[in-house]
Structures are given as structure tokens and as C-alpha cells.
Amino acid sequence: MGIEALLVVSYCVIGFVLSFYWFKRDYEEEYERADENDEPIERGMVGLLLLGFIAFWPFVLIKNLIKHKTL
């Protein structure tokens, strides 16, 4: 395994961990409330949101650090 593969795997692992952290922190309460109240939930959009966080985690991280001074 070359250095490129190691960098790609580490990028994806960091993005995976941060995406679930951000989802739990910012969106899980609203998602659970909507699910309990039988409101329509777009489960595919939740998946796309998580994929977006995985792909663009550096931008979200920088935004959070500048705006909120936290992860």
C-alpha cells in the first residue's frame, strides 16, 4: 500500500468520524423528533448529508473553527 492509498483511507476515516459527530451534535434530535411524530423523513437525504460531510469535512471543520471556535 502506497502513501497515496494511506492518505485517502485516513481522509475517509477522519471524514466518517467527524460526519457522525456533527450529525449527532446538530441533527439527531430533530431527526428523532420528526421520526417519532410520523413526519415525512427523507432518509436518502440524510445519507447524502453524511456523504457530503465525509467528502467536504475540511471545509466544514474550518467553518466551525472560524464561526463557532469549536469542532
Say whether 57 sits in a helix, a strand or coil. helix
Number of domains in the chain: 1
Task: For residue 49, give its domain range.
Answer: 3-67
pLDDT in the model for residue 70: 84
State yes or no: pLDDT of 59 exceeds 90. Answer: yes
Please, are residues 15 and 55 in contact by the beta-carbon 8 Å criterion? yes
Q: Which amino acid makes up residue 19?
A: S
Specify the DSSP class assigned to residue 60.
H
Overall average pLDDT of the 12-21 stretch:
95
Please, are residues 15 and 59 in contact by the beta-carbon 8 Å criterion? no
State yes or no: pLDDT of 1 exceeds 80. Answer: no
Overall average pLDDT of the 55-66 stretch:
93
